[in-house]
Amino acid sequence: MKQEVTPTPTFQLIDEILAQESINLLSLNPQKTLITSFAEFGNLITEQNTDIKVLTILQETLESIVRTQLQNFPENIFWDFDFLVSSMLRQALIADEGAVSFLKIFGEKMVSLTEMFGKKTEIRFRYVHDFMYGFEWARWVQKEPQNRAHVEPFSLLFLDYLLVKGQELLQRINHGQLTSYKLCDTGYRNPFTFSREPEDEYRLLTYLAEEQLIPVAVWNWNASPVWNKPFQEMRQQLALKLNIKPQKR
């Protein structure tokens, strides 16, 4: 009898999902314009792990994260995933609960976060940039560096913090207690004083990337996250330097 062979999951399916959306898959990498393909991620992943069950869950988890980002952040600009994928894989392979359990938990938290902060709830952020590129993580670490500096940007611990923060934001919005998170005339919330319209966001973030002022270089599979720079202040200063207009409320 022939033994049935389980097909290796194809990460290229995720590239096809992205292609169907007709979005410009921009990278923040100063050395290139477009993101690394998921087919390429598949090659990098299988160099480190060939367990079909782990590969299948990893592909399914990434697919659900990508689909949720597309649904909740349709106007997102930068779509790098390299370090997210390598972080997921690295954490899964050393997780006490086993790789499959870790990936399922990780996927559930990422999907919940994306749904919570996107356009379908009252928070209504326009982009995933602050979370994916580590601005929120760096700010969190700076509050207690002695306890948090070792915590990864895509660790379950930090995802849990963001989920709690999201619930608190929703409650404060519902009670009219958020003065700095008012809706802009675009229908999105912007906690910054400067405009985050797509052309302004693109200019500011590409400039920050060129100056190496992005906390997590997600376009780099082997990124070394940086928390100990005044990212928020530098972002404000650069917005002034680039003459980015104030946000209309």
More confident call, 121 vs 246: 121
pLDDT for the residue 174: 85
| Domain locations in the chain as residue ranges | 12-241
- Name every residue whose Cβ is closer than 8 Å to that of residue 86 and which is 6 or more positions away in sequence: 44, 221, 222
Contacts 24+ apart (CB under 8 A), 50-55: 51/99, 52/6, 52/8, 52/9, 53/100, 54/92, 54/93, 54/99, 54/100, 54/103, 55/8, 55/9
Q: What does the pLDDT look like over 35-47, one tens digit per residue?
A: 999 999 999 999 9
Record the tokens describing residue 130, joined without a space.
């602050």
Segment 113-122 shows an average pLDDT of: 94
Quick one: which of 71, 65, 72, 153 has its CA closest to 104?
A: 65
Please give the mean pLDDT across all residues of the chain: 92
Q: What does the pLDDT look like over 186-224, one tens digit per residue?
A: 788 888 889 999 999 999 999 999 999 999 999 999 999
pLDDT for the residue 65: 98
More confident call, 30 vs 3: 30
Q: Using 50, 70 and 90 to split pLDDT, how confident is the model at 3?
A: very low
Side-chain-side CA neighbours of residue 39 (13 Å): 7
Q: Using 50, 70 and 90 to split pLDDT, how confident is the model at 112?
A: very high
Mean pLDDT lowest for which of 13-17, 46-50, 79-83? 46-50
Which helix (H) or strand (E) segment holds residue 97: the answer is none
User: What whole-number percentage of the chain has pLDDT above 90?
Assistant: 83
Segment 7-32 shows an average pLDDT of: 91
Cβ atoms of 122 and 174 within 8 Å: the answer is yes
- The Cα 130–Cα 160 span in angstroms is 16
